[in-house]
Amino acid sequence: MTSEASNIKEIIKDGDWTLFLDRDGVINRRLIDDYVKKPEEFEFLPKVLESIAIFSKIFKHIFIVTNQQGIGKGLMSEADLEIIHRKMIQEIETKGGRIDKVYYCPDLASSNSKNRKPEIGMALQAQKDFPDIDFSKSLMVGDSKGDIKFGKNAGMITVFINSDKLNTDFDADFAFETLGEFGEEIGK
């Protein structure tokens, strides 16, 4: 956690903020060298459900933005991904949280798609769907350099989730070990 972590609560206190969350490695356990292709492979990380319930009381909008090139590789279909996301959102809602919308990019990394993070296509789509979004009053939470670059490219405040504790080379505004730790910090 950065030394300024406690200041994040001060920054977002007016209730007019938007939260963008990466999925794999932030919300659910990342499958190394694989993709979550069916609901039974989706496993929430500890304290994520409680944290999203906290976020739901603080943030005006909450979105998930996720690269899902497993679709582009033919390992799963968009219908498979929809089933996974439906189950994920159901569980989040059961625990008192909400996700306003999930945005995903099925394109391969080699495609140079404007919708694939770190490009900001998914953020622009969210802003088109929810015109009151102000990127300068938005947070991007992710566990990769691409996630942080996505947030920076859109002009957001960035929060790096460093669950492996190995990556110290990041350019985020704030860092926490887990989404649960971040949720506890702003829920105080």
Residue 19 lies in a domain: yes
The answer to whether residue 4 scores a pLDDT higher than 70 is: no
Residue 2 lies in a domain: no
Residue 99 lies in a domain: yes
Domain count, the chain: 1
At 71-83, the pLDDT tens digits run: 999 999 999 999 9
Looking at residue 100, what is its pLDDT?
98
Residue 175 belongs to domain spanning: 7-133+144-187
Tell me which of 25 and 4 has the higher pLDDT: 25
Residue 7 — pLDDT band, cuts 50, 70, 90? confident
Angle at 132 between CA 129 and CA 133, to 5 degrees: 80
Looking at residue 33, what is its pLDDT?
87
Active site residues: 22, 24
Q: How many angstroms separate the Cα of 54 from the Cα of each of 34, 98, 106, 148, 183?
A: 30, 10, 29, 22, 7
Residue 138 lies in a domain: no
Looking at residue 165, what is its pLDDT?
58
Mean pLDDT of 38-49: 96
The answer to whether residue 3 scores a pLDDT higher than 50 is: no
Residue 139 lies in a domain: no
Tell me which of 43 and 15 has the higher pLDDT: 43
Pair 9, 185: CB distance under 8 Å: yes
Query: What does the mean pLDDT of the chain come to?
Result: 92
Residue 53 lies in a domain: yes
Which stretches within the chain are classed as H helix?
Answer: 7-11, 48-58, 69-72, 78-94, 121-129, 145-153, 179-187
Pair 174, 157: CB distance under 8 Å: yes
Looking at residue 151, what is its pLDDT?
98
Nearest of 90, 66, 47 to residue 186 by alpha carbon: 47
Q: How would you classify residue 127: left for phi > 0, otherwise alpha for psi between -120 and 50, otherwise beta? A: alpha
Residue 188 — pLDDT band, cuts 50, 70, 90? confident
At 126-140, the pLDDT tens digits run: 999 999 999 999 999
Q: What does the alpha-carbon distance between residue 24 and residue 143 come to, in Å, rounded to a whole number?
A: 8
Check which CATH number belongs to the domain holding 81 and give it: 3.40.50.1000
Q: Which two tokens stand for residue 12?
A: 């977002």
Flag whether the pTM goes above 0.85.
Answer: yes
Looking at residue 1, what is its pLDDT?
39
Looking at residue 2, what is its pLDDT?
43
Residue 1 lies in a domain: no
Residue 28 lies in a domain: yes
Q: What does the alpha-carbon distance between residue 5 and residue 74 come to, in Å, rounded to a whole number?
A: 41
Residue 6 — pLDDT band, cuts 50, 70, 90? low
The answer to whether residue 182 scores a pLDDT higher than 80 is: yes
